[in-house]
Amino acid sequence: MVNLYLGLVLFGVSVALMVRARLGLDPWDVLHQGLSERTGIGLGWIVIGVGALVLLMWWPLHQRPGLGTVSNVIVVGLTAQGALAVLPHPGPLAVRFAFLLVGIVANSVATGMYIGAGLGPGPRDGLMTGLAARGHSIRLMRTAIEISVLAAGWLLGGTVGVGTVLYALSIGPLAQFFIHRMNIADRKVALHG
């Protein structure tokens, strides 16, 4: 539970750091930011709303959410909204780049923590695995989903930039590194094995 909730809070803070960097966001947050810009609704509230809609898409895929899934929908958005309220708007490019790098690494650590807790995937991850369970390639489904939300977010005015590319290139290896090290089941086996 501690891993789950610390991970979700850290994930929300990482989103806010990348938003404040203004150098480009991950695909889903490009969509969230674009929707926020168009509607005037705070980004954190958009994260919650989109997460809930994606969770509804699980129904026909026969996916079952866990405590971690439902918590993800709520905690990440609330934390991102709160962090955006207190984080400064950095001016110098060096500080913005530092926000971006810390945001990407924090996002990876957070992913390792909440997935490693084993209490259910995030709504977006569950959508991908649900589609893959229907016989589609995970790589194809993940790529199609990410490109679709990135394109929609960019058209809505979300920030695409060097941070988007850096995130895309680094998140896979970083997330794999941290998921392996923070997996609760793996640690239990190592302790008792």
Low-confidence residues of the chain, pLDDT below 70?
184-193
**pLDDT (tens digit, 9 = 90+) per residue, 43-94?**
999 999 999 999 999 888 888 889 999 999 999 999 999 999 999 999 999 9
Count CB atoms within 10 A of the CB of residue 67.
12
Kindly state the tokens that stand for 86: 């207190």
CA 115 to chain centre: 11
178 vs 3: CA distance, rounded Å: 12
pTM over 0.95: no
Residue 76 near residue 11, CB atoms below 8 Å: yes
Residue 25 near residue 80, CB atoms below 8 Å: no
Range of 168's domain? 2-192
69 vs 56: CA distance, rounded Å: 12
Number of domains in the chain: 1
Query: What is the model's pLDDT at position 184?
Result: 60
